[in-house]
A and B are shown apart, each in its own frame.
Chain A
Amino acid sequence: MQHTLAHLKKGERGVITDVSSDHIPLKLLEMGCLPGNEVELVQVAPFADPMYLNINGSHLAIRKETAIHILIEKVANE
């Protein structure tokens, strides 16, 4: 199964594999949300939304509805 960002749990990490640019604001891409970059779910608000992420060193929060359009590959925590 393909994972999206929304599947991450708090503290888990992944690598972005694809973003469907039609559903993602350009601003998010500019902040580093691009294929190949690593992403970590730092914190979730109650009801798991919005999600507080660390993408490639940039800390930002997005809503779940945006997160489901970002495909990732989970990375095991060492």
Chain B
Amino acid sequence: MSKQINVALIGNPNTGKTSVFNALTGLNQKVGNYPGITVEKKEGVCRLPRGIKAHIIDLPGTYSLNASSLDENVVIELLLNKNDKDFPDIAVVVTDVENLKRNLLLFTQIKDLEIPTLLVINMADRMRYKGISLDIDYLEAHLKTKIALISTRKNEGIDGLRELITNYKEVSTEPCLKTTDIDPAYFENLQKAFPNQLLYKLWLVITQDVNFGKTDRKEIDAVTSFKTKSKADLKRLQQKETIKRYQFINNVLKKGQTIDLSQAKDLRIKLDRILTHKVWGYVIFIAILLLIFQAIYDWSEVPMDFIDGVFASLSEWTKNVLPSGAFTDLIAEGIIPGLGGIVIFIPQIAFLFLFIAVLEESGYMSRVVFLMDKIMRRFGLSGKSVVPLISGTACAIPAVMATRNIESWKERLITILVTPFTTCSARLPVYLIIISLVIPKGKFLWLSYQALTLMLLYFLGFATAVLSAYILSKRLKIKSRSFFVVEMPNYKLPMIKNVAITVVEKTKSFVYGAGKIILAISIILWFLASYGPGDNFNNAEVIIKTEYASENLSEKDLQHKIASHKLEHSFIGIAGRLIEPSIRPLGYDWKIGIAIISSFAAREVFVGTLATIYSVGSDDEDTIKNRMAAEINPVRGGPLFTFASGISLLLFYAFAMQCMSTLAIVKKETNSWKWPVLQLAIMSSFAYLVALVAFQFLK
């Protein structure tokens, strides 16, 4: 019989907590959300010795149990709620050997909740470089815990950790500090009022109540009657608590840890001297961005052409093999091209996630925050807005969530509002296909025109985001105190395993999430394009044959004429021509119009939609791009995708708010419909205007 225990991984940010999680669970993990909130919940299963199974939760990184954000609040909610199904049988606190002192603060707090707590000291491989040595026995005795000294990078000590978790019953629950020592008068009174409660837990409930305005905990009701201290007084007590804890930690480390500074080699100082330099820091940052865009463009060309070809022949093959009929058509003309429209962008999206993961893992991202803060503040943003703006190039949804660590509400709100302007990976498919159609090949220095255009579009996205932030900061009348604290972690060589897991997980969830919607939409689009009302559709063959009876058309041309006549009078054709007058000034035909409308579900649907519309009724094995290039402008003749209409379309996609999921997340994060509705209205009308002006000027 197997037994399952709950293990909670807790730790400061940048301690390699996620590496420990990956080392314990491998790929045996799933990422979801905590119910009702958008905080990422990572769970996994780990097999322990003696047939025990551990259910491991990787809790969000936090510096202490005094939560100041939604993510951090998840940690304390779980640790205070014994009835939660995930309540840990054992808490594993992950620390970094180089920041042991600071990391232990959180450890002592969790100990004082009298939860069995293990201490993991990670990055043991760095000890020698830093001249650090530890007296593990001494530390174990005085911190009243078991210690696992590990190195996830060298994959050392993991088995020992597994063993310690298995013996979770032997771990002491004795607290580190006496809560009453913080302020005897106050805490003795409190204990008298609630003799049956754990004092430290009471204290957390009281302070969290003040910090967070939480009211859904029953215990608080009872406690509020006792809450005589003012906010400022409580904060002073929290400060006292922090000082007491550091005194305790300092005393323990004085004997348990020795640091021989003469042995320490500091890579940090050398790297920081260049990477945060007043001039070189910025030059390097821009160079890194350039490299990323060139890479996304160049490296993914080959796999993308390959995928495009595979789907085209798959479609053809399906038609030949399956018995002919409506369902076969649906598969060959609806589902396969629709899916192809998403699969083709996996290479680029994976590259993008790869770069972002590397920047975050290496510790470079914090340096960018440091460098950009003053500049961003001029525009009403925070240095921390850089992270959402950069990760917005992958997807606006995690980017909006990444704003949570911005301390000032005004800066945070502005960041949320402008983040959707950054070029997310869903825009990429649209950009790529249009760029390849309308921008000539050729090179400027070592950059191709096409890559350059893509970069300009990214730049345009950032510039619009920053400028609209400036306008918003002048218009929004919100008073909020702004604090700015950012940890500058050590530089680390990113661990391949961590980066790979991030890339795979993120790409997978992007493809599955968007893929389902795209699949559903392409089925419906295919139906709307393959069926139609009235004579004009149902008798298309007769109509065309009589119309062209005098001309000697080949069978192939005749079939083509019939197909396009049918499409024009299908449901989708009718709807498309209905909206055509409003988009013709932008240089689009009704097919693009349909693609734009379906894009409001998610932008990446655009290419899939066009692929579906253009595939209906066409027999040839051909790629999406070639079909689009062959489209003829119905009014003026000549190719439909010209420089003017292409640029207009690019600009429309650059500015329009076409993503229901982002709107939903903005609603959640701002707790109001006001902001997402404003975003949708302003961004989309701005997009229309810019596209209109661009086309009228360029045509």
Contacts and interface: CB of A to CB of B under 8 A. Distances in A.
Interface of A: 21-22, 25-32, 34-35, 42-43, 45-47, 49-50, 52, 56-63, 65-66
Given A25-B407, A25-B483, A46-B278, A61 B369 contact: yes
B242 A30 contact: yes
A15 B577 CA distance: 74
A65 B98 CA distance: 29
B510 interface: no
Nearest to B407: A25
Interface in B213-243: 232, 235-236, 238-239, 242-243
B294 to A, nearest CB: 27
A31 B63 contact: yes
A31 B487 contact: yes
A47 B659 CA distance: 39
Given A32-B246, A57-B102, A45 B66 contact: no
Contacts of A30: 63-64, 66, 102, 105, 242
B484 interface: yes
A50 B370 contact: yes
Contacts of A27: 63-64, 66, 68, 483, 485
A49 B101 contact: no
Nearest to A33: B485
Q: Which 10 pairs of residues, A with B, have the shortest CB-CB distance?
A: A59-B488, A25-B483, A63-B484, A30-B64, A61-B370, A61-B486, A50-B373, A58-B102, A29-B242, A43-B276
A45 B485 contact: no
5 contacts: A25-B485, A26-B235, A43-B272, A59-B268, A60-B485
A47 B370 CA distance: 12
A72 to B, nearest CB: 17
Given A25-B483, A59-B487, A62-B484, A45 B276 contact: yes
Contacts of A52: 272, 276, 370, 488
- The secondary-structure label for the interface of chain A is mixed
Contacts of A49: 373-374
Contacts of A26: 64, 66, 68, 235, 238-239, 242
Contact of A63 (B101, B269, B373): B373
Given A26-B238, A62-B484, A45 B371 contact: yes
B256 interface: no
Contacts of B63: 27, 30-31
Interface string B52-72: 000000000001101010000
B407 A61 contact: no
A52 B374 CA distance: 13
A59 B483 CA distance: 17
B235 to A, nearest CB: 6
B99 interface: yes
B88 interface: no
A49 B485 CA distance: 12
A66 B483 contact: yes
Given A26-B66, A42-B272, A58-B102, A50 B483 contact: no
A60 B486 contact: yes
A43 B268 CA distance: 12
A51 to B, nearest CB: 9
Contact of A60 (B272, B278, B483, B487): B487
B243 A34 contact: yes
A66 B407 CA distance: 13
B11 interface: no
Contacts of B235: 21-22, 26
Nearest to B232: A22
A31 B102 contact: yes
A18 B293 CA distance: 48
Contacts of A31: 63, 102, 485, 487
Nearest to B282: A46
A58 B374 contact: no
Contacts of A21: 235-236, 239
